[in-house]
Structure 1
């Protein structure tokens, strides 16, 4: 998941250092934000300065408007706002101080409301509209800027503009509340050791205990992996699953219902039949019908695969329990998938973690990226961080030695921290301002080494990081991951391939000579195991995307009832007293009417992988991909980017082979 948000070094009590003032090297990736008590003042002054500059633009005579100057001024205003919005956006999700998180959220909402104010300025809109771009980059930035004005309602009647602003501000506030309710989830479960039979001893040894000696289990992702994949007692898996799917609770269901209402309000104000029609106009898909047609083809192809896979897992459960009529439930899925991986493919999670220890795996990831894209990575211990677990790095061009960017890793779970995995953009690239980008990888991994799923997640999210920090756009507005939403996942999905290919795995021993040599047999078995479950996985993705389209086209007014209606038609049905939508943060976090994009973008991701053929470590193709895809951000339309890189029209065959488990593994050995 990519998040247009940010931060970086949080040093309480210091003043905010503008990005433009940062030195070229050394502390180029550093940001400092004020203490929580100072944030309101800094927020007000930042907005005031931007309002003054925007006011000057609004008064510029139309006859004097020139695209180059207009875009330069606009870029400077936007990056000035980002210098605050970026740090506070990520601080709101990751900082250990609750008071600072709360102050950051309050300012982020004010900055968002200010966006709604100036994007509804008729005077500003008229000046942007009058500008004539001199080259494709200027024309694309102007076109996308006009889209943003249109999306915010500049063309509506005055009363409708005010109503639209109110709706957008309400949605932003609700989204922050929704995220906080999941982030601050405090629920824990107590289990006896017998109830957690099968759970790894290393996990149990680290667990806290209550006064009765029972093990206390939270609801973070390492907890879910430990229990749902390993607990042999079905009742324990069920109990954990039910609690896990109730994160956010009734409060978030009410918030989601209100968000859906506001979506409907916006659709009505803009004269659209539904919210999806409003949103999709500026996506690659274009129309609701295109999304529905795509999802229909997905489910048609994966349904028989899902049916076959679930039949195999159900047979395993019945054999293990001795119950010929045992039903297969959601809390069984990860457990029996792991059991199948062990028994059929001989993939032991403990063996995988031992093969991929954290530090060595990160070094390998950097080495692969450096070789592929012509880079040099250096740890930078001088950059201040917001938690002791956070690490900072600088990136240089391998040929010229030029400093390019910085990034941060915040890998492990803690109280009050964002609960999923995402790349947060901290600072956008802008060659016009000689501005270098910064991004942060935020995850909730185990410290004991990477599981197979976590390894792919690591490469996926680092694909987002590279998309951000290798950006070379002229202006910040379309830098990095600021691309069409149904393309944004493609570079990250593509990079998952490098987590499993022999050509990249060959480099592991070079970065860690003391590590256990890569077991080519284990890697081959992991790839076989990965292919099993593709039908189940993408049938589930279809459920999520279909639910999103339901809420954004024909909602009933009760999000849980809509979820139930869709899930109960799936092969495993709906589980009473669960409420998955209460923690489905994508919907209120910017992916409303866009969740289908995870699969839509995978079409392009799988196609782009094919450009490397049997050698994904070919640096010549990597250099072309860096130049044509990663450096250009959204300044070139996504479809054109893909076709220029491939040298042909995009094709969906590799995608459908992938999601049905038919795509062939690389033939080369280690």
Structure 2
């Protein structure tokens, strides 16, 4: 069988030939790739010449390229366009990959060569990036068991293999439970309060499923508008309960035992490697450095946010009572509904009135234009690049001198085989190899409301901001310019990775930027300045509540990973205790955050969810430079571009301080969020 995953790709810019790849190609391709990768490792480990930076560290960095290629495509597709067959292959392949990684990381001969180079590091006259590669390589081996004895190494292998299966299972359970729920409405009276765009999308949803009436799902473009606009409190509660019991119901998708086993194994692994907990293990390699620093950071933000949040919630309750609400406390399923109404009254902002100015294609063009003004980039849509779904569009990215920089894929609409949320990923990362700068292929993925027969895809301002956020991650990949792939683009400390995306969000609130793309899809009228003024005034609306919500997720994450929690029987009580001080609502029986918390159980955010707020501190501090010098100031833009291009090639705080000229201060964030 010809296997496109194993062949040279004669495609534009050597992009993935998605049109030729079938599910059955993955397993045989990976088996062959692993065999080749093992031979490369044996050649490095068994080299009779003395260990040098080039023949050991660089050789290791450049090994296993085929394994990386095959697994990257598989797991990206498993997130964006999966199927039961692909999920089955991913489950079979995950333990094989885990085993392969451990064969490398626990290879004694290889580690002795790495150690020999590391011990001579001060005599090697390496440049900064090469020093970083050497240090990271050595640490990666030590942190993955290179100093363990044989029986401990075997235990580590068993733990890693099982964890790779469990994290996949967790995400699958969430996806399946999300897809299984439908709220099917056949009586138009039950649509009370829902704007036309929500009804239209629900009708299209029903039509797609061969049903009469309107269908609402737990996917964000369906769930969020329903919770925001539906006047039917009973139906909001029904949808809320379905969403917040995902993978916690009494069915085959329940994640309770999966979570317990994941946290237990992570803790065992950390202890085996000499760490107090999984959080201690993770944070050693982050900007925050320790659990104590993270908890101190979260507590400091909590001190400022709590009184503001309580005041805001009291104002919201009083407003709801004026609207006829008769209880003494708002329930969770009331929040979005009344918050939207209060925002509309307070700032005269109506998401429904704003949406016509945020046509998806225009928002994307706005992001392109902003990147053009800041960094001299141009984006050219091309149609000769194979894609994995007909809705995916492709662009070639060029710098100010017309040099090719990257391929960008965009994928904007929900599908059954696509996980919810928004993310950036890479199909190929940047590196310099044999004197050639290999340029990246990155993907921008969101889940927005589809166009209908009568309307294009129109975004809420929040969705438009999400697009700018993920595009900021894409820029981190596109502008990457390092020698080594493992230090390129978004391969940075986890609490630094959100900085480019969160900084880029700031431009969408600037009147000068909005004027270039926020145009009414029917009339072409530019968004009125009065609306822009209101958007800026409303930027801090309920920010105390929003901060408390993010802090609750970060605190829950730290609670799960700060000690051994594998024996916890009462998950709901554990959750309640972990986040009780951030809670602003009455308790609701049976709901569970953890069971669908993909970020920490199936993504890379375990003991790292705090990084969203950490990056916000950096982002507010960073954007302050543009506010002082001008939002398109050439010098500030050049310094920002330089910071993005460096990836993880130097310590993140050094890169940041070179850009900013000073230590980051939380003052800018507290001021911006109205918490001071």
TM-score normalised by L of structure 2: 0.91
Check conservation: 1:28, 1:405, Cα contact below 8 A.
no
Check conservation: 1:280, 1:287, Cα contact below 8 A.
yes
Does 1:618 find its partner at 2:633?
Answer: yes
Does 1:41 find its partner at 2:31?
Answer: no
Alpha-carbon shift at residue 104 of structure 1 (Å): 3.9
CA distance in 1, matches of 2:266, 2:62: 32
- Cα deviation digits, residues 576-622 of structure 1 (max 9, x gap): 12122111101112211111111112211111111212522224422
Alignment-derived partner of residue 151 in structure 1: 143
Alignment-derived partner of residue 217 in structure 1: 216
CA distance in 1, matches of 2:151, 2:136: 25
Check conservation: 1:487, 1:597, Cα contact below 8 A.
yes
Alignment-derived partner of residue 666 in structure 1: none
- Cα deviation digits, residues 201-240 of structure 1 (max 9, x gap): 2322342179995532111001112211000121111111
Alignment-derived partner of residue 79 in structure 1: 65
Alpha-carbon shift at residue 271 of structure 1 (Å): 2.8
Alignment-derived partner of residue 578 in structure 1: 591
CA distance in 1, matches of 2:295, 2:446: 32
Cα gap change, 1:511 to 1:575, in 2 (>3 Å):
closer
Q: How many residues align?
A: 644
Alignment-derived partner of residue 453 in structure 2: none
Unpaired stretches in structure 1, ≥5 consecutive residues: 1-11, 663-670
CA distance in 2, matches of 1:412, 1:109: 31
After superposition, residues 542-553 of structure 1 pair within 5 angstroms as 542-553=551-562
Cα gap change, 1:167 to 1:138, in 2 (>3 Å):
same
CA distance in 2, matches of 1:576, 1:214: 31
CA distance in 2, matches of 1:456, 1:572: 27
Check conservation: 1:112, 1:169, Cα contact below 8 A.
yes
- 1:344 pairs with one of 343, 346, 349: 346
After superposition, residues 382-531 of structure 1 pair within 5 angstroms as 382-399=384-401, 401-433=402-434, 434=436, 435-447=438-450, 448-508=457-517, 515-531=524-540
Does 1:53 find its partner at 2:65?
Answer: no
After superposition, residues 175-324 of structure 1 pair within 5 angstroms as 175-184=167-176, 185=178, 186-191=180-185, 192-206=187-201, 207=203, 208=206, 215-250=214-249, 251-323=254-326
CA distance in 1, matches of 2:98, 2:671: 42
CA distance in 2, matches of 1:361, 1:240: 30
Cα gap change, 1:78 to 1:512, in 2 (>3 Å):
farther
Cα gap change, 1:276 to 1:359, in 2 (>3 Å):
same
RMSD in angstroms over aligned alpha carbons? Answer: 2.3
Cα gap change, 1:611 to 1:212, in 2 (>3 Å):
closer
Alignment-derived partner of residue 169 in structure 1: 161
- 1:135 pairs with one of 103, 127, 140: 127
Alignment-derived partner of residue 657 in structure 2: 643
Unpaired stretches in structure 2, ≥5 consecutive residues: 451-456
CA distance in 2, matches of 1:274, 1:406: 40
Cα gap change, 1:201 to 1:511, in 2 (>3 Å):
closer
Check conservation: 2:190, 2:232, Cα contact below 8 A.
yes
Check conservation: 1:182, 1:419, Cα contact below 8 A.
no
- Cα deviation digits, residues 547-602 of structure 1 (max 9, x gap): 11111124362433311223444121431121221111011122111111111122
Could you say what secondary structure the match of 1:649 adopts? coil
Check conservation: 2:15, 2:385, Cα contact below 8 A.
yes
TM-score normalised by L of structure 1: 0.91
Alpha-carbon shift at residue 105 of structure 1 (Å): 4.5
Could you say what secondary structure the match of 2:448 adopts? coil
Could you say what secondary structure the match of 1:154 adopts? coil
Could you say what secondary structure the match of 2:556 adopts? helix
CA distance in 1, matches of 2:181, 2:510: 39
Alignment-derived partner of residue 572 in structure 2: 560
Alpha-carbon shift at residue 68 of structure 1 (Å): 2.9
Alignment-derived partner of residue 533 in structure 1: 542
Check conservation: 2:410, 2:444, Cα contact below 8 A.
yes
Could you say what secondary structure the match of 1:344 adopts? helix
Could you say what secondary structure the match of 1:424 adopts? strand
Cα gap change, 1:356 to 1:482, in 2 (>3 Å):
same
- Cα deviation digits, residues 623-658 of structure 1 (max 9, x gap): 22112x111110111000100001222222112223
CA distance in 2, matches of 1:479, 1:201: 45
